[in-house]
Amino acid sequence: TFAATERKRLKLALAASMLVVVAALVLTFSRGAFFGFIVGDGLFIITRRARRGLLLGAVMVRGLLFLLPGTMWDRVMAGFGGDLNALSAGRTGEIWLPLLPELWRSPLIGNGLSSILWSDAMRAERILQVGHAHSAYLQTLLDMGLIGLTLLLAFFGFLLRDFWRASRDKSLSPTLRGFFEGAAIGLVSFLIAGFAGSALTPCAEQSFLWLAAGMLYGMRRKRAKT
């Protein structure tokens, strides 16, 4: 939205909000959040196809890498050089592998929402005492099975298509087109980061995604009436 809008006051407000988001991102100390941030920024630069944007992005990345404190580097590089369990911060050996047998209890429709809480692995204390599987895709398979995962991915596929079409709709203002382009890129980033966290069903950290979806469908409904 910042790159697309021509409104100076809005640009200033968006620049301030981006600084707040980056600060909050750093405070989470989450490698998944860092990865999602990198994916989103990379996709933004690539889709713009502007040499100036690529150059500016490269300069900003170099500057950010130079300014990162040692503790941040330690967090980002944690687990590298070790096995997969170390790289995934214990998810592989202490959550994912012990939960795999649960998938075969009801592979098509799953075991119910939040089924990890009453799984055999949880009751036998073979996994960490967690409330979710730390993988959006594994969590969906456990709760809703293959049918649920397929339907959710189909929904997100259609949503991504519609976001991208809206971002190229010349009948919309540049501000709205930029907003929907950001929503498309954010959705891709969310789906990639979901391999190691979050959920495919609505939760608090997806608020902006559902706000964008609501704007898209609301706009489509208004057009249909006119």
Report yes or no: 128 and 94 within 8 Å, Cβ to Cβ.
yes
* pLDDT one-digit tens code per residue, 25-54: 877 777 777 777 878 888 887 777 666 656
What pLDDT, on the 0 to 100 scale, is given for residue 188? 92
Report yes or no: 134 and 91 within 8 Å, Cβ to Cβ.
yes
CA–CA distance from 27 to each of 13, 24, 133, 190 (Å)? 21, 5, 23, 19
CA atoms within 13 A on the CB side of 174: 8
* pLDDT one-digit tens code per residue, 122-137: 888 888 888 888 899 9
d(CA 4, CA 169) in angstroms, rounded, equals 13
Average pLDDT over the chain, rounded to whole?
83
Residue 212 has pLDDT above 90, yes or no: yes
Residue 220 has pLDDT above 60, yes or no: yes
From 6, 4, 17, select the one nearest 44 (Cα to Cα).
Answer: 4
